[in-house]
Amino acid sequence: MITLTLSELARAVGGEVLLAPGDTLDTVVSGAVDTDSRLIGPGSIFVAKPGEQTDGHLFVDAAAAAGAVVAIVEHPVESSVASAASAAAEPRSVLTQIVVRDAVEALADLAREVVARVRSGGDLRIVGITGSNGKTTTKNLLARILEPEGETVSPKASFNNEVGAPLTMLRVTEATRYLVSEFGASAPGEIARLAGLVEPDVGVVLMVGMAHAGGFGGIEATLAAKSELVRALHRGGLAVLNADDARVASMAPIASERDAAVRWFGRGGGVDGRGVDVRADDVEVSASGTTCVVTADGVSATLRLRVLGEHHVMNALAAIATATALGVSLADCIERLEAVEIAERWRMQPLGSERVRIINDAYNASPDSMAAALRTLAQITGPGERTVAVLGAMSELGEYAEDEHDRVGLLAVRLGIQRIVVVGAGARRMFLEAVAQGSWDGEAIYFETADEAYDYLMTELRDGDRVLVKSSNSAGLRFLGDRLGESFS
């Protein structure tokens, strides 16, 4: 984080300062900000956030012991260290506390202030990314392109919510050239709130699909929510839009309201034939990755993407469209993307060996990403090899859950997946649909737990199998994928 005095910090979050001995309002702080006391280091600022499982106020002492110099709290916390010393001396706090009404809102306010200061005094460019699928992969690909150009801050893992996004923003310094923010949401208004903290110079919208549709209340409500990023653009900025998705394409007039230009990416000419600025042709998929010809503003080059899955071509196009708009050459984009082996752990991550290849894609799942992963499995499996899909539940679909799980079971059968292993009660509809479609002679099997599925797979898998493990994070199958990967490494 940038350097602030305690007075400036308190003013940014609208809090009351309770000074520890030795501190004054002019004391300077510049350490990292975190809500997890286990990640606190010397000079850090600890935000004591109440949570569903525990309360950050219980860990103020732990944060202080780890080196925190300030705690942002919702009520004063008397240190147990100070209490123990009070028999012989006056009680005291071991670190300065800033008391606020709401710790999460204070975190957002601090992020807004820090980014605004850096932006006003330097050359910071801010990119925001949203979409029903592909945010984390696109964020990682774009960061890899931009990092050689200058100091780049991007989210760890999927830090894209009301806590993770501000924590990412607070990592900027006066030397930061690019801030890449990922904006996720499970309800209307969340993207507007997060993107509104920084008003991105560039807003990237990947797709509008069924992910989180249960929370939004349907696909049109999802469209409205994803549009919030374009509405939050810095005036005169740039919207990078998927020309192949009609719902994303419909956001172009919103960009005009912000006096923002539109840059299109896609696999074809766009849903209305308008053409695209960055496109991919001659796409070929294999077990080692995807090859295509990328054309950006009339310049063409071959991209050999090692990240598995044809669907990642669109994520690469979005990253290229953004980076070239920021001044990076297409040749540099291609060179840096070709060095990326996996987008993120548990996202189309190759494990195992050539004998039994495991693809662990169980960090997240939606109907769109589930379909893309199954198609990839079918595409990369060659003659004499066998397709095995280990599938778990897709979360946050609400009233659409049963129908969407049915569709996945149907698709797996139509793609000719030879073994369909369904795990967990939330995914049982996939199994029932697969059986209804003809996979009743051992091709489809159901297990209540991942341990049961593991025991079965250890006896069932054989040389030449290509195994996809796919589910939402909450289903926990990513750990099953790791176990299988280790067993067949």
Contact 389, 409 (CB under 8 A): no
Which residue is listed with tokens 């993770």? 164
CA-based nearest residue to 211, from 384, 360, 372: 372
CA-based nearest residue to 167, from 46, 17, 5: 46
Give dist(CA 77, CA 90) in Å, integer: 16
Between the CA of residue 479 and those of 338, 347, 451, 471, 472, what are the distances in Å? 28, 13, 10, 11, 12
Is 134 among the annotated ligand-binding positions? yes
Is 135 among the annotated ligand-binding positions? yes
Give dist(CA 73, CA 169) in Å, integer: 20
Between the CA of residue 158 and those of 140, 203, 364, what are the distances in Å? 10, 17, 10
Is 176 among the annotated ligand-binding positions? no
- How big is the CA angle at 375 (ends 374 and 379), to the nearest 5 degrees? 120
Sorted by sequence, the CB contacts under 8 Å of residue 282 that are 6+ apart come out as 291, 292, 293
Is 173 among the annotated ligand-binding positions? no
Residue-wise burial string across 241-271, b where 16 or more C-beta atoms lie within 10 A, e elsewhere: bbbbbebbbebbebbeebebebbbbbbeebb
Contact 160, 128 (CB under 8 A): no
Is 161 among the annotated ligand-binding positions? no
CA-based nearest residue to 348, from 246, 207, 478: 478
How big, in percent rounded to 5, are the helix, strand and coil portions of the chain? 40, 20, 40
Give dist(CA 248, CA 226) in Å, integer: 8
Residues tagged in the binding site annotation: 131-137
Specify binding-site residues for ATP: 131-137
